[in-house]
A and B are shown apart, each in its own frame.
Chain A
Amino acid sequence: MSEARAQSFRFNTGAATTHAILIVGALIVLLPFYTMISLSLKAPHEIMQQTGGFIGAQEAFRDDYCVKLGNAAENCMVNPIIYNYSTAFEKAPLVRYLLNGLIVTVSIFVIQVLVALPCAYALAKLRFWGREAVFALVLFCLLIPVHAIALPLYIMLAKAGLTNTYAALIIPWTISVFGIFLMRQFFMTVPDDLIDAARMDGMTEFAIIWRVMLPTAIPALMAFGIFSVVAHWNDYFWPRIVITGNRDLFTPPLGLREFKGDADGDNFGPMMATACIIVTPLIVCFLLAQRRFIEGITLSGMK
């Protein structure tokens, strides 16, 4: 009996050690999220003096910029949270940036699907001369990271007069060879009978793609969509290169970076508020649909 107790004790210490290690890891992982949220709630002097704990005292403080504009000091007292978040929206057209982010990520995903789906269908289900060569080309293109060829792409876009346009943000991502590859593998598993039946009913090949194949591919497409949207919402490198001066075209990461560029001590709060606003949409979606997100993001690793 004592042996059994020793066994269960050992098991418990084992589990406790595991939890202890994982909790330390979790604290380190969460540290910047904690800092980000905390700073977005606090007043400038609390940030500089590192006082106020997590949410700060939430006392109204004097907004010096407001005083400088000639207002009476008593009219310029603001609550830190309201100050930080309202400054985030006032100092830069943050709503516009968020909208740009949405436009760009959605356009990229829609065009990727429009281009990749028919190609994947042809590669999986049609027999034609050169099919193997096309597939080999797809496999070769999988080797190329688009970020790495940014320079020639930038030159091509500049020559076409397209820098500082939505087109520049979208065009390099319209072709997803990974999407083609993924959809092709998926379509291979769709039974031929389904397609033959559709042909008997007189459907054109075009109609088959959108009315027969697309509905069967919804789960795979969702995973791919998450993969694509997360990558392009968070992308900083490419917008940085093709959007040089035009603030109307800034995506959220560029907006945040601009904020950092001219942030003095007073602006840490609003800057962190901006960071929170940019990070939140994806994090909330992730927490709501974790399994789908993990599936989507790690899609490239599934075999």
Chain B
Amino acid sequence: MQSRAHLWFIGPAMALMFIVLLIPILIAVGLSLTDYSLGNQGAEFVGLENYERIFTRSTYEKMFVATFRYVFVVVPLTVGLGLGAALLIHSLGRFGDLYKTIYFLPVMAALIAMAIVWEFAFHPTIGIINSTLEKGCGTFLEAWPWYAKGCERTFPLWLNDRDYAIWTVSFIGVWQGFGFNMVLYLAGLTSIPPQLYDAAEMDGATRGWDRFRLVTWPLLGPTTVFVVTISFIRSFQVFDMVEAFYPQGGGPSKSVFVMMFAIYEKGIQQNLMGIGAAITVVFLAFVMVLTVIQRWLVERRTHYV
């Protein structure tokens, strides 16, 4: 009887894996070679034209610039702040629990809701950010040229300012994401055996920095590899904020035209499935390569950690 039972058990899962995950990838690869659009009869095979467009047109150059700016701000900062917060909280013992709770709140809250609140906070005239900055005018802060300029004319428009938009969006991404990494690092820190610190101290590592460099950091290696990868994957997928702030067009001068939004705009809004599918394939390639690198690093490290 057992010999048949497994078919019933793995059958539904296998079927869904093919229908929901694997076949769509094949469809995306197939469509990326055509100019298909939903509702139109037939589609022309266009070869690699869509890919050529992605790697030559300035719109898509902006897409890559926006995506990589976001990713390369958010990943280091969420990892760094996550580690920093975890180290500080860990050093406080159980007094740190309240901070842990607070820092984790943004991870729980629907990003779309918090994005709308941040948009209000960054509002140039009625937002709390600029009105707080204005209160600092006339004080020593004016010694800072950027600040003096803001007082003289106006402070930046933040989300609607071509030079600030992507960084403001990145800031919100960091705000939302570092608590997640902090919790992963805290789990990593509690699993370090305290005897190792005693041993390091006997070997002369008395300064805090030495103990961090010689014990904490190497032992957090596997955690770091995981945290970095998951931060990359999460930040590549940024979408909610961008759509909420800029329903059309991806921000001032397309400076916030990130990849997930590009897929949405091309595929869903403009029904250009071919180009949308091509961006999907490029996106999948990024994410999968990153994950494979992570797995390889973890497997390599486990030999000596």
Q: Is the CB of B13 within 8 A of A175?
A: yes
Q: Is the CB of A149 within 8 A of B184?
A: no
Residues of chain B having any CB pair with chain A under 8 Å: 1-3, 5-6, 8-10, 12-14, 16-17, 19-25, 27-28, 31, 38, 81, 85, 88-89, 91-92, 96, 99-114, 116-118, 120-121, 126, 128, 131, 175, 179-180, 183-184, 187, 222-223, 226-227, 230, 233, 237, 239-240, 243-244, 247, 260, 263-264, 267-268, 273, 276-277, 280, 283-284, 287-288, 291-292
Please give me the residue from chain B that is nearest to A26 by CB atom.
B102
Q: Is the CB of A26 within 8 A of B99?
A: yes
**Which residues on the A side are within 8 Å of B3 (C-beta)?**
128
Q: With A118-B9, A175-B13, A298-B180 as known contacts, state yes or no: A152 contacts B112, CB within 8 Å.
A: no
**Which residues on the B side are within 8 Å of A126 (C-beta)?**
2, 5-6, 9
8 contacts between A and B (CB under 8 A): A29-B105, A118-B10, A122-B6, A148-B283, A156-B27, A171-B20, A240-B264, A297-B180
Q: Does A104 contact B (CB under 8 A)?
A: no
Q: Is the CB of B180 within 8 A of A36?
A: no
**Which residues on the A side are within 8 Å of B273 (C-beta)?**
151, 155
Q: With A143-B287, A145-B237 as known contacts, state yes or no: A22 contacts B89, CB within 8 Å.
A: yes
- Contact for B13 among A25, A30, A119, A283, CB less than 8 A: A119
* Residue of B24, B239, B243, B268 with most partner-chain A CB within 10 A: B24
Residues of chain A having any CB pair with chain B under 8 Å: 15, 18-19, 21-22, 25-26, 28-33, 35-36, 39, 47-48, 50, 114-116, 118-119, 121-123, 126, 128, 131, 134, 137-138, 141-156, 158, 171-172, 174-175, 177, 180, 204-206, 209, 230, 233-234, 236-237, 240-241, 252-253, 256-257, 260-261, 268, 271-272, 275, 278-279, 282-283, 286-287, 290, 293-294, 297-298, 300-303
Q: Is the CB of A152 within 8 A of B25?
A: yes
Q: Is the CB of A50 within 8 A of B126?
A: yes
Q: Taking the nearest CB of chain A, how far is it from the CB of B280, in angstroms?
A: 5
Q: Taking the nearest CB of chain A, how far is it from the CB of B122, in angstroms?
A: 10
Please give me the residue from chain A that is nearest to B279 by CB atom.
A151
**Which residues on the A side are within 8 Å of B104 (C-beta)?**
286, 290, 294
Q: What is the predominant secondary structure among interface residues of chain B facing chain A?
A: helix
**Which residues on the B side are within 8 Å of A155 (C-beta)?**
27, 31, 38, 273
Please give me the residue from chain A that is nearest to B129 by CB atom.
A31
Smallest CB-CB A-B distances: 9 pairs: A118-B9, A152-B24, A119-B13, A175-B16, A152-B27, A122-B9, A275-B113, A205-B5, A234-B110
**Which residues on the A side are within 8 Å of B22 (C-beta)?**
141
Q: Taking the nearest CB of chain A, how far is it from the CB of B233, in angstroms?
A: 6
Q: Taking the nearest CB of chain A, how far is it from the CB of B253, in angstroms?
A: 23
Q: Is the CB of A260 within 8 A of B116?
A: yes
A121–B2 CA distance with the chains assembled, in angstroms: 13
Q: With A151-B263, A300-B230 as known contacts, state yes or no: A128 contacts B88, CB within 8 Å.
A: no
Q: Is the CB of B114 within 8 A of A32?
A: yes
Please give me the residue from chain B that is nearest to A259 by CB atom.
B116
Q: Is the CB of B2 within 8 A of A119?
A: no
Q: With A35-B128, A39-B120 as known contacts, state yes or no: A119 contacts B10, CB within 8 Å.
A: yes
Q: Is the CB of B267 within 8 A of A141?
A: no
Q: With A175-B13, A282-B108 as known contacts, state yes or no: A148 contacts B280, CB within 8 Å.
A: yes
- Contact for A149 among B2, B24, B117, B243, CB less than 8 A: B24
- Contact for B28 among A149, A205, A287, CB less than 8 A: A149
